[in-house]
A and B are shown apart, each in its own frame.
Chain A
């Protein structure tokens, strides 16, 4: 999951198992609202990888990923922006 990640700040995101919707890890739960997403620092990645794994096992989420953020906390990659904002047309 954490391979090839660039930068220092991230969100933990995934898809909800039952609905497929994009969700973000907030504190102790998953939210569709990006504003509630917990910002994760590089040194915390291993801890949140374990959280993702546990939540996969609990059948809450699938396909967890770390979303790279810029220094000012904005989502960097177009793919992740599309996941957050929806289709672009």
Chain B
């Protein structure tokens, strides 16, 4: 894991001190809310329906056991004994008091964490494949590149007041587990003629106008990464619209200018910077890479204990994946306990998981954008013990990738922007489909739920997407089908008129039935069936059987 340098520590410490003074000035009346709002947002502090909300950055979704323990402590001391892991690999506390936030930031700084740039019109936390460095398919570990981008983008003076927020994701294999193509910039490490470099995608995003990012560079040499990013950002900063918040993202710019024009402008600017500004040297890169070395000997061999336990087998089949190195496994920790809010973890669960990670995963934990956690390196011989310990804290739900593994935003239960609730919908789905055999029969499927058009619940890219709307004061739910956030990223199609909450589960059941009726075999997944059968068949079945 990356360890802060003295400079990093100082930067975070200074910012914490600075924000403490700003909070004091606000409380004492020297700053108005209008003046204070941009300052608090730059430190991840929102005002939601019931309380303030603090979003803490988890850089590229990687946590140490000490950090997870600290998050648990903060939730106990300053919040309501839980935290919410988000769809951008961060964590949110829903109930902090303004006067406590400086103390929270101080405690976070002690474990090398902060809330800087988790909000506001700046470059946000960098997303990454949660299997970075541990999957066999990747061309190289993308995390050092995330760290380089993090360093470059933190407090970047030119990009602190962009037209709108800006999100970057980095992956390094064919499989996209970071929803890379719905980011403002998506980077994929590839190998070409023996050299590793980046494919660069620009202009992806969700919200009210969803777009899939377009590839503007087929191969970028690694040493030029920051100059190229600088070129993209400076074009966006100059030409991105500031007159209309809904048209301010780079996805709108690329669609207004056209792909070629934007690419030409970026290339032109890149030429100006080329080998003059931020060219990466081998020494710096190697230094950063040292922080991301495997914490164990690659040659360790270990076998899974031969234990006859049906539940352990079910969990292992569903939640355990092969590690890059044979003696270890990757353990997915589901935060989708049946009937509970997706992504929530109690203080007790976080503390216990921190201990499990310390004991069995070299102290490392990852956060996925699908709101689950990962123990990245578990020795095979420890799998049974890990399962036993996870079960004790109700974190052994064997549903990774299944219908109850939904993504869900906080919705109107917390969020000031939401137009409908989303968590209760997720809970209903989870309760309705929780039978293990039923879930296995349905197979891999992604349901994603947003409580408003801002799409924090990624509904546009759900195989089944659910968008909560306000229809004359009543909650209603619009369904889209065929979306995907993986390597075949696709924006779902709206199937038709929306459903009231009481008819929604029946509607989902009908969709599942149409899918099952048209499957060729159990390997045939939802997207394949949808693409083959088409939306009309789903629509016909849905509205014949369910009056909206």
* Residues of A in contact with B (beta carbons under 8 Å apart): 15, 17-22, 56-59, 62-63, 76-79, 82-83, 86-89
Q: Is B52 positioned at the interface, with any CB of A under 8 Å from its CB? A: yes
How many Å lie between the Cα of A77 and that of B420 in the bound state?
11
Tell me if A17 and B98 are in contact (CB < 8 A). Answer: yes
A19 shortest CB reach to chain B, Å? 5
Tell me if A15 and B29 are in contact (CB < 8 A). Answer: no
Tell me if A87 and B414 are in contact (CB < 8 A). Answer: yes
Q: Across the interface, which residues of A come within 8 angstroms of B96, CB to CB? A: 20
The residue that A87 contacts in the complex, of B47, B98, B413, with Cβ under 8 A, is: B413
Query: Could you say which of B341, B413, B414 has the most chain A C-beta atoms within 10 Å of its C-beta?
Result: B413
Q: Show 17 A/B contacts (Cβ-Cβ < 8 Å), sorted by A.
A: A15-B47, A17-B27, A18-B99, A19-B99, A20-B50, A20-B95, A20-B96, A21-B50, A59-B26, A63-B33, A76-B473, A78-B475, A82-B49, A82-B413, A86-B50, A87-B50, A89-B427
Tell me if A20 and B98 are in contact (CB < 8 A). Answer: yes
Q: Across the interface, which residues of B come within 8 angstroms of A82, CB to CB? A: 49-50, 412-413, 421
Closest to A79 in B: B412
A86 shortest CB reach to chain B, Å? 7
How many Å lie between the Cα of A17 and that of B99 in the bound state?
9
Tell me if A88 and B421 are in contact (CB < 8 A). Answer: yes
How many Å lie between the Cα of A78 and that of B95 in the bound state?
20
How many Å lie between the Cα of A69 and that of B26 in the bound state?
32
With A15-B51, A63-B47, A78-B412 as known contacts, state yes or no: A56 contacts B33, CB within 8 Å.
yes
Q: Is B423 positioned at the interface, with any CB of A under 8 Å from its CB? A: yes
With A59-B29, A89-B427 as known contacts, state yes or no: A22 contacts B50, CB within 8 Å.
yes
Tell me if B27 and A59 are in contact (CB < 8 A). Answer: yes
Extra inter-chain contacts (5) besides given A18-B99, A20-B51, A88-B413, CB under 8 Å: A17-B26, A19-B98, A76-B473, A78-B412, A82-B421
How many Å lie between the Cα of A87 and that of B32 in the bound state?
29
Tell me if B47 and A18 are in contact (CB < 8 A). Answer: no
Tell me if A89 and B341 are in contact (CB < 8 A). Answer: yes
Closest to B97 in A: A19
Q: Would you give the 0/1 interface string for B42-63, flagging 1 where the beta carbon is closer than 8 Å to chain A?
A: 0000010111100000000000
Q: Across the interface, which residues of A come within 8 angstroms of B243, CB to CB? A: none
Number of residues of chain B lying within 8 A (CB) of chain A: 26
Tell me if B47 and A21 are in contact (CB < 8 A). Answer: no
How many Å lie between the Cα of A19 and that of B100 in the bound state?
9
Q: Is B401 positioned at the interface, with any CB of A under 8 Å from its CB? A: no
Q: Is B443 positioned at the interface, with any CB of A under 8 Å from its CB? A: no
A33 shortest CB reach to chain B, Å? 15
B137 shortest CB reach to chain A, Å? 38
CB within 8 Å of A: which B371-406 residues: none
Q: Would you give the 0/1 interface string for B101-132, flagging 1 where the beta carbon is closer than 8 Å to chain A?
A: 00000000000000000000000000000000
Q: Is B424 positioned at the interface, with any CB of A under 8 Å from its CB? A: yes
A64 shortest CB reach to chain B, Å? 10
How many Å lie between the Cα of A57 and that of B26 in the bound state?
11
How many Å lie between the Cα of A82 and that of B413 in the bound state?
7
Closest to A56 in B: B33
How many Å lie between the Cα of A88 and that of B501 in the bound state?
14
Q: Across the interface, which residues of A come within 8 angstroms of B49, CB to CB? A: 22, 79, 82-83
Tell me if A89 and B424 are in contact (CB < 8 A). Answer: yes
The residue that A20 contacts in the complex, of B33, B47, B424, with Cβ under 8 A, is: B47
Closest to A15 in B: B47
How many Å lie between the Cα of A56 and that of B29 in the bound state?
10
Q: Is B6 positioned at the interface, with any CB of A under 8 Å from its CB? A: no
Q: Would you give the 0/1 interface string for B216-250, flagging 1 where the beta carbon is closer than 8 Å to chain A?
A: 00000000000000000000000000000000000
Q: Would you give the 0/1 interface string for B13-52, flagging 1 where the beta carbon is closer than 8 Å to chain A?
A: 0000000000000111100110000000000000101111
A35 shortest CB reach to chain B, Å? 18
Closest to B49 in A: A83
How many Å lie between the Cα of A87 and that of B48 in the bound state?
12
How many Å lie between the Cα of A41 and that of B341 in the bound state?
39
B32 shortest CB reach to chain A, Å? 8
Q: Across the interface, which residues of A come within 8 angstroms of B427, CB to CB? A: 89
